[in-house]
Structure 1
Amino acid sequence: MKKLSLTVMSLILLVACGKKEEQAAPTVMPYKVVNVSKSNTSLIAEYPATLEGVTDIDIRAKVDGYIEKIYVQEGQEVKKGQLLFKLETQTADQEASAAKAKVAAAQVEVNRLKPLVERNIISDVQLETAKANLASAKSTYQSIIARINYATIKSPVNGIVGTLPLRLGSYVSSQTTEPLTRISDVSTIYAYFSVNEKQQLDFTMTAEGKTFQEKINRLPMVNLILSNGETYSQKGKIETVSGQANTQTGSFNVRASFANGNKLLRSGGSGTIQIPTKLTDVILIPQNATIEMQDKRVVLTVDKENKVKAIPIEVRAVPGGQFFVVDKGLNINDKILIEGVGIVAEGTEIKPQLVDYTTIINTEKEKVN
């Protein structure tokens, strides 16, 4: 009986140990994965820009004088030929009166000598001298009148009045450093920005056209994000790209134009240009399939033994916040986790549940729309 009891006890212990071993074995959990493939998408590149009108003309005095009248206000819309400023002309008016009198006197002298020459009483030399004096007097008078006219300053173009740094009574001359104001024609606004060589190639190589200018002409319309974060209502068109890169910065200067019928945009403003770029046959993955780890973007891949491995990747965000374009780190047909990211530890064995790549991409796109 004792031997039997020992045998039974041994069996019970073996069964109990077996159960403990079964309980200690880790459970392989199922997680959804996809085989990486290629897709098409569009990216939005952003560039800080400065805004300028079609023309920005500094208004300066051509003659010396004190500002007698200011006819406009800062920010006022003016027409070509509209009065802006009037300079004091009292001295010039007096000079004009004196010069006009000299013209009259010279004309009298010419009139007096003409009949004497005709009757051969005096020589032609005296008459010619008198005529020369008359021409000189007229020239002096016209010069003074021009100075008086220059004292009345008009707008050379339709536009918006800038700041008025000088006030009534200020003395100005053609040598005054600061302009009286600036008139900006803002019927169209130019947005100037810079791109590096890679960026320039990114948005021109994808455009249709045989020549560089044809590609520029066929670039997609661009958006302007204003300084308050709002998107400007009118789309713009890229018109020019500088012919060569800046030797110091390696950047190209680009100009886009925007219609500005409501005069909302003003010269000197700033904004951000958004340029859409079409990408074909690129690796596209959901953003929620990645995590940030030690300042790096990481995706979890599954190896041949179904173990999880963290792979650093280089990405560009797609507008909408749902996708990344992967530029480096993944290859076609790599398996990546789209479930349990941030929970499953590296090295963990999983049971992959393969999900169709196209289905995942289309599902995420529907969320954006």
Structure 2
Amino acid sequence: MKAKSYLVLGLGYMALLVGCQSQTPQQGGQTDYPLLTLKPENRQLSVKYSAVIEGKQDVEVRPQVSGTITEVCVKEGARVSKGQVLFVIDQVPYLAALKQAEASVATAEANEATAKLTLEGKESLYKDKVISDFELRTARNNYQSAQASLMQAQAELVNARNNLSYTEIKSPVDGYAGMTSYRIGALVTSGMTEPLIRVSDNSQMYVYFSMTEKQVLSLTAQYGSLDSALLSFPPIQLELNDGSVYQHTGKIDVISGLIDKTAGTVSLRAVFDNQEKRLMSGGSANVIIPYERQQCLVIPQGGTYEIQNRIFAYKVVDGKAESTPIEVFEINDGKEYIVEDRLQAGDVIVSEGAGLLKDGAIVAASAVKPNTEEE
């Protein structure tokens, strides 16, 4: 009897379960999704370009005379001033050359003075018809030769003084000294290819980057000339290699008038202040140029899905989701797209969860909300 009772009770539970299942609503009915009515709006956007950072002045310091280094007056990495002595080359042979040049000038001056006195005496004698015209001409030639010898000696003196001054190798600019491998006793020459040291003026930094020929032509067409385009650029930012954004904005000050035939690009230069010395010559970064897109249609990326590198959105037509391929411009924030084609103002789209929908799914029209972003 107990076995029959259990059997009847089990059959009753099964019947109850089947009855409940039969009363569950069928899937595929109307589902609430957040919807968005598209309207034109203005957006402030930005574009990035890879860039190289260089000091305003990176000067290679080389010797102008040959000799051994007797003093190293600069500390690597130190701040240096224009005209500050960095190295001293052995001055002894150049001092001797200077003394020799001074002696040569003294001798030439004496010879020139003697030739002048001789000429004056010959001229007096010629007037009295004591000497011939030949002797007078000879005296004049000797005087001119003495003058030329004096000028040559004076030039050699200037050269000797310059060579002596070149033994003190000075900084040509204000800036910071780089590294050097030259020490006291090292032999240097005026023809050496490797600089003794580099001095960089990093108070301002030049940042070089490139645009495509098409982009520059577009700027020229928009503003009428490269000069007008240059004046129209807003202040720009610099994204450093660690991902941080440099605290000072910069200004584009040069657009090259030449196109790189190999890359098909045009070089541009921006200037950034570097009072904190955060930027270093030779570094890499990204230039961030802001610009505005007016009266564009913006949709969230959550309202799209991608198949084989094509992007689709669901447009709501008569309460149903209709899959629509769209052309988009990707905004750098990774959250939104600007629609370039296939959607227009007034269209209603599913703004989230597009990857979970199927074409033809019924969506709730009551969920429609206009785009309330400020223009």
Structure 2 length normalisation: TM-score? 0.78
Letter in 2 for 1:248: T
Report the Cα distance in structure 2 between the residues aligned to 1:228 and 1:269, rounded to whole angstroms. 11
Query: Which residue in the other structure is 1:345 paired with?
Result: 358
Q: Between the two proteins, what is the percent identity of the paired residues? A: 30
**Are residues 1:173 and 2:189 paired?**
yes
Letter in 2 for 1:239: D
Shift of 1:221: 0.7
Distance 1:210 1:106, change over 3 A: closer
Unaligned runs of 5+ residues in structure 2 are: 1-17, 126-134
User: What SS does the aligned partner of 2:104 have?
Assistant: helix
Of 262-271 and 296-305, deviating more is 296-305
Shift of 1:162: 2.8
Aligned 8 A contact 1:203 1:277 in 2 = no
Query: Which residue in the other structure is 2:178 paired with?
Result: 162
Distance 1:197 1:36, change over 3 A: farther
Query: Which residue in the other structure is 1:332 paired with?
Result: 345
- Give per-residue Cα distances to partners, 1:153-183, cap 9 Å, x unaligned: 2122222223324333333223211122222
Unaligned runs of 5+ residues in structure 1 are: 1-15
Of 175-184 and 338-347, deviating more is 338-347
User: What SS does the aligned partner of 1:80 have?
Assistant: coil
Letter in 2 for 1:89: Q
Shift of 1:191: 1.1
Distance 1:219 1:36, change over 3 A: same
Report the Cα distance in structure 2 between the residues aligned to 1:293 and 1:115, rounded to whole angstroms. 105
User: What SS does the aligned partner of 1:185 have?
Assistant: strand
Distance 1:331 1:168, change over 3 A: farther
Aligned 8 A contact 1:204 1:216 in 2 = no
**Are residues 1:279 and 2:281 paired?**
no
Distance 1:161 1:21, change over 3 A: same
User: What SS does the aligned partner of 1:215 have?
Assistant: helix
The one of 110, 134, 152 equivalent to 2:168 is: 152
**Are residues 1:187 and 2:200 paired?**
no
- Give per-residue Cα distances to partners, 1:63-96, cap 9 Å, x unaligned: 2222222222333222221112222233222333
Aligned 8 A contact 1:315 1:328 in 2 = no
Report the Cα distance in structure 2 between the residues aligned to 1:211 and 1:171, rounded to whole angstroms. 54
**Are residues 1:221 and 2:223 paired?**
no
Query: Which residue in the other structure is 2:305 paired with?
Result: 291
Of 41-50 and 296-305, deviating more is 296-305
Q: CA RMSD in A?
A: 3.3
Map 1:1-369 onto structure 2 (within 5 A): 24=26, 26-110=28-112, 123=139, 126=142, 128-200=144-216, 211-304=225-318, 306-309=320-323, 311=325, 313-319=327-333, 321-359=334-372, 361=373
Shift of 1:252: 1.7
Distance 1:227 1:168, change over 3 A: farther
What is the number of equivalent residue pairs in this alignment? 343
Shift of 1:303: 3.8
